[in-house]
Structure 1
Amino acid sequence: MLVYIFRGPGRVFGFTVDEAGANLPAKFAPWVSFKSVELSRDKPTPGVDSGECLDDIEKYGFHITDAHVRITDKVV
């Protein structure tokens, strides 16, 4: 799955399939486009737990980390 990564304040990052990042939480805005990656459950991706990220995207539409630690549940 192609996932777009956006940088928020500090070490906060948002992951979403929305190329514009429009569904990312306003709490950490402004979001700045960082890069896109192809995520797969069976292929490790540096800096993110792919399975956890894809689960969050499926459930909430996005995945949020702070210093590589999942904080999605704190913003939904």
Structure 2
Amino acid sequence: MIVHIFRGPGRIFAFSQDESGSNLPAKYRPWFLFKSLEMIRGEAQPGVIVDECLDDIEAFGVHVTDAHIRITEQATT
């Protein structure tokens, strides 16, 4: 899956399939596209737990971290 990574304020990052970032949590704006990459279950990527990220994208449409710690549920409520 191609995942687009966005940087928010401080050490907040969001991961989404939506290249425009329109589904990212408003409370962490502004978002800036950082990079895009292919994520495959079971394959390591620096700075993110791939399976956890893909699970969140399937469940919430987005995966959000603060200093590499998952905050998806707090960010999306």
TM-score (norm 2): 0.96
Q: What does residue range 5-20 of structure 1 map to in structure 2 within 5 Å?
A: 5-20=5-20
List alignment gaps of at least 5 residues for structure 1.
Answer: none
Q: Post-superposition shift, 1:42?
A: 1.7
Report the Cα distance in structure 1 between the residues aligned to 2:8 and 2:70, rounded to whole angstroms.
14
Among all aligned residue pairs of Structure 1 and Structure 2, give the percentage whose two residues are the same amino acid. 59
| Aligned residue pairs, count | 76
TM-score normalised according to structure 1 size: 0.97
Runs of 5+ unmatched residues, structure 2:
none
Classify the secondary structure of the residue corresponding to 1:9.
Answer: coil
- Tell me what 2:28 maps to: 28
How many Å apart are 1:37 and its aligned residue? Answer: 1.1
List structure 1 runs of 4+ shifted beyond 3 angstroms: none
- Tell me how large the CA RMSD over aligned residues is: 0.6
